[in-house]
Amino acid sequence: MSLPPKSFRAHVGISPSTVSLAARDSILVIIDAQNEYASGLLAVSQPNIAYSRPNILTLLQRYRAAHAPVAHVVHITPPGAPLFTPDTPLAEEFSELAPLERASPQSSGDFEAVVQKRFPGSFAETDLQDVITRAGPEVRKVVLVGYMAHVCVSTTAREAHQRGYDVVVVGDAIGDRDIPEVPGRSGTPGLGATGEEVTKMVILELADIFATVLKTEDVQ
């Protein structure tokens, strides 16, 4: 009987990470939680959006209560673009996640920052690195949530890993849309994978080498 496969991280002795808000060593990075993914052409499929969206809010509320740093990453596009169309609701972050100007901050890391990006990776030509540095030298753990799992979340996780951060992806606070079949691959045009299937594969890929994957309930 063959043994179950081990992850790359297990083979090289990387222990799973945990997140304790009391430790003040993490930043919550909310990636592209914008209306494009709720009601636009890139709408995240059900049941993905039904559980991931409220879980993102739960995590934001916990970070606020702990006076811990948060980065709201929003994707921007040129005027008239069909996706994340500027000056329309599609470009806006979910209303329940609107950034706060925190009154009487308790530490240098007690803030919420907005980071605008034009590429899949949240570090590419943005000030996210500066935001993390501002949060303090003790912040070496990035906690990622948002959309789409296979594009911006995955790319950001890999960027953060390359920068030496301890990367945590909250698996039930990310999501994806249904994606089409590749023409000619199966001979049957149409659905290639559901959003749930895409998200599961992203979680497996990231957990193998780039990140620890936790649930919302694990981040306290």
- 197-214 pLDDT, tens digit per residue, is 999 999 999 999 999 999
Mind listing the pLDDT tens digit for each residue in 31-76?
Answer: 999 999 999 999 999 999 999 999 999 999 999 999 999 999 999 9
Minimal CA–CA distance to 28: which of 76, 74, 61?
Answer: 61
- Is residue 69 helix, strand or coil? coil
pTM given for the model: 0.95
> DSSP label at 97?
G
Q: Is 218 a catalytic residue?
A: no
Task: Return the bridge partners of 212, or none.
Answer: 168
Q: Which domains does the chain have, with CATH numbers?
A: 22-218 (3.40.50.850)
Helix ranges, 75-194 (H): 128-134, 154-162
Angle in degrees, 0-180, between the axes of helices 195-209 and 154-162, rounded to the nearest 10? 10
Instruction: Say which of 25, 110, 141, 152 is annotated catalytic.
Output: 152
Say whether 152 is catalytic.
yes
25 among known catalytic residues: no
At 188 the pLDDT is 62
Active-site annotation holder among 25, 110, 117, 172:
117
C-alpha closest to that of 116 among 96, 141, 86: 86
Backbone phi and psi for residue 214, each to the nearest 5 degrees, phi listed first: -120, 175
**Distance from C-alpha of 217 to C-alpha of 46, rounded to nearest angstrom:** 21
